[in-house]
Amino acid sequence: MDSPCHPEEREARRLLAWYDLNARRLPWRSPPGTPPPEPYRVWLSEVMLQQTTTAAVAPYFARFIDRWPTIGELAAADEADVMAAWAGLGYYSRARNLVAAARFVARRGGFPNSEAGLRELPGVGAYIAAAVAAIAFGRRAVVVDANVERVVSRLFAIAEPLPAARKAIRTATDSITPAESSGDFAQAMMDLGATICTPRAPRCLLCPLAPDCAARAEGDPARYPVKAAKKTKPLRRGRALWIARNGAVWLVRRDGETLLGGMRALPGDGWSAQADGEGTPPGDWRDGGTVRHGFTHFDLELTVLVAPEDATPEGAGEWWPIDRLGEAGLPTVFAKAARRALT
């Protein structure tokens, strides 16, 4: 059984053997070698896991599965309910696309089982299509996420910086992806990246691929993957309005597909103003304090302005009971502002 073989098979064998003993147990996953979870669960977990930690996803995944156990039930849901259930997880376009994709799949009569078919779902890109095809449908697919980029760039000592190195990384990943068990292989690569081949201080002594690892041979595996320098995040200032009356607060819904689009929110300015102090509020508004919040591409310093008792809101919105504010599905930045206003 240990007949001479291609080096690429050697890596997959070592990794799969390691995975048999070391696979993380996660709510959306079946143990190695057992039948895969339903495509719905695999897809839902992959969408939630984009740029998001397993610890953050776990409670959301449980709540979604409990409330919408099948793709058909999710397809029939009100989008507003899904958005509210997504609140706090971030990247809200994922929730908008989730509903659209669920309806697409339900109308179609089931999930596509090929990468190309999966790519047609809104919110499904190269990574998720490959992951679902491999994990849920047992297809051979080249699954490349940030973990795989790290593992593979070290394994092959790919010195080209990201993102330009993506093509070389994909080719290298393809070369070690086995024909069978490619779902387990993909999950094994991700587990290896999450627990052993970590961004800092990789635990090479525990790594099943250490004998094959070019970066390890060089002596400084943590220098891979090489990344382009990142830009500094600008600081924006903005205001949120706390307009309360009879135990209720005035909430609006942000429209469009831009920042926090589709989510409930406190009314306010656009945060686009570089300078604070513009549009000074009427003197009878009270300064409710300031919260800081970091977004992907800018930091926000948000001042909460508390309205006088007789203030009248303008435009579309709704009065929301303050004692049930937790159910409003406010994005974290507004949850912070509300907490500040209430202290």
Partner DNA sequence: AAGGCGTGGGA
Partner DNA sequence: TTCCCAAGCCT
Does the bond joining 178 to the residue before it have cis omega, within 30 degrees of 0? no
The answer for residues whose C-beta is within 8 angstroms of residue 4's C-beta and 6 or more apart is: none
> Based on CB atoms, which residue is closest to DNA, 243 or 335?
335
- Alpha carbon dihedral 130, 100, 103, 111, in 10-degree steps, equals 0
Enumerate the active-site residues. Answer: 46
Q: For residues 123 and 98, is the Cβ–Cβ distance under 8 A?
A: yes
Tokens of 258: 């831009």
β-strands 235-242, 299-306: how paired?
Answer: parallel
Q: 53, 246, 312, 343: which one contacts DNA (CB under 7 A)?
A: 53
Tell me how far, at minimum, the Cβ of 310 lies from DNA, in Å. Answer: 31
Q: 32, 39, 112, 123: which one contacts DNA (CB under 7 A)?
A: 123
Residues facing residue 305 across a β-bridge = 241, 287
> Based on CB atoms, which residue is closest to DNA, 87 or 307?
87
Tell me how far, at minimum, the Cβ of 203 lies from DNA, in Å. Answer: 12
Q: 19, 64, 127, 242: which one contacts DNA (CB under 7 A)?
A: 127
Query: Torsions phi, psi of 90, nearest 5?
Result: 85, 170
- Alpha carbon dihedral 167, 171, 177, 180, in 10-degree steps, equals 100
Q: DSSP states of 202-250 as a string? A: --GGG-TTGGG-HHHHHT-GGG-S-BPPPPPPPEEEEEEEE-EETTEEE
Q: 295, 301, 313, 317: which one contacts DNA (CB under 7 A)?
A: 295
> Based on CB atoms, which residue is closest to DNA, 49 or 249?
49
Q: Is 214 in the site for DNA (CB under 7 A)?
A: no
Q: 56, 106, 168, 252: which one contacts DNA (CB under 7 A)?
A: 56
Tell me how far, at minimum, the Cβ of 145 lies from DNA, in Å. Answer: 4
> Based on CB atoms, which residue is closest to DNA, 61 or 68?
61
Q: Interacting stretch for DNA, rule CB under 7 A, among 11-19, 71-79, 254-262, 317-325? A: 254-262
324 DSSP 8-state letter? G
Q: Is 25 in the site for DNA (CB under 7 A)?
A: no
Q: Is 294 in the site for DNA (CB under 7 A)?
A: yes
CA distance 313 to 333: 21
Q: Is 52 in the site for DNA (CB under 7 A)?
A: yes
Q: Is 155 in the site for DNA (CB under 7 A)?
A: no
Q: Is 126 in the site for DNA (CB under 7 A)?
A: yes
Q: For residues 85 and 59, is the Cβ–Cβ distance under 8 A?
A: no
Rounded to a whole number, what is the largest CA-CA distance in the chain? 83
Q: 108, 167, 227, 324: which one contacts DNA (CB under 7 A)?
A: 227
Q: How far is CA 42 from CA 88, 106, 113, 212, in A?
A: 21, 16, 12, 31
Q: 15, 49, 249, 302: which one contacts DNA (CB under 7 A)?
A: 49
Q: Interacting stretch for DNA, rule CB under 7 A, among 45-53, 211-219, 235-243, 283-291? A: 45-53
Residues lying near DNA in the complex (CB under 7 A): 24, 26, 28-29, 45-46, 49-56, 87-93, 97, 122-129, 131, 145-147, 150, 187, 190-191, 193-194, 199-200, 227, 230-231, 258-261, 293-297, 331-333
